[in-house]
Amino acid sequence: MSYAERRLLGFSAEQMFDVVNTVAEYPKFVPWCKKADVRKISDRVLEADLLIGFPPLHEAYKSKVTTLYPYVVHSVCTEGRIFNFLETTWRFGPGAPDKQDKTCTLYFSVSFEFKSAFYAHFASMFFDQVVKQMVSAFLKRAEKLYGPPAVDHFRIKPQIVQYSK
């Protein structure tokens, strides 16, 4: 399964980078993330042990996160029983010309495949909700940390670049 979108956000690239890159905080605002233990490897790389799920199902996996401040946060599942692969990329580019320092353009992509046919079937039923909630959770977190956005990104429909179940 894969999904990618592009949209204008009402926060700067630096602000959004900080929200996405603070993996240890994910259990506070990402609906399906229950636990995140993070080890910093270098200024640009971290490893995270994540616990995700919906009661009563919970699964753990390891993720390697590579960054390029303030433009890219790239995450790859490196170990776990749940995914054959999981890759997520957040790219932040220039925003609206009239609000350049207060906005950015997001290119978000996620692709994954479950090892279990049960999880794959379950995920396909809720795929649309999960991808919509993913970006929305991070935008709501940015609003909580930084206040109202410079543009109402919830009223601007994302441009869906890729979608496959």
The structural domains of the chain, ordered by start, are 2-21+67-164 (3.30.530.20)
Q: What average pLDDT does the chain have?
A: 90
Helix and strand element counts for the chain (H, E): 3, 8
Alpha carbons 5 and 32: distance in angstroms, whole number: 20
Q: Which two tokens stand for residue 58?
A: 């919970």
pLDDT tier at 128, thresholds 50, 70, 90: confident
Burial degree of 48 (CB within 10 A; 0-12, 13-18, 19+): buried
Mean pLDDT of 140-152: 97
pLDDT above 70 coverage of the chain, percent:
92
Q: What are the pLDDT digits (tens) for 13-69?
A: 999 999 999 999 999 999 889 999 999 999 999 999 999 887 667 889 999 999 999
pLDDT tier at 93, thresholds 50, 70, 90: very high
Alpha carbons 156 and 81: distance in angstroms, whole number: 37
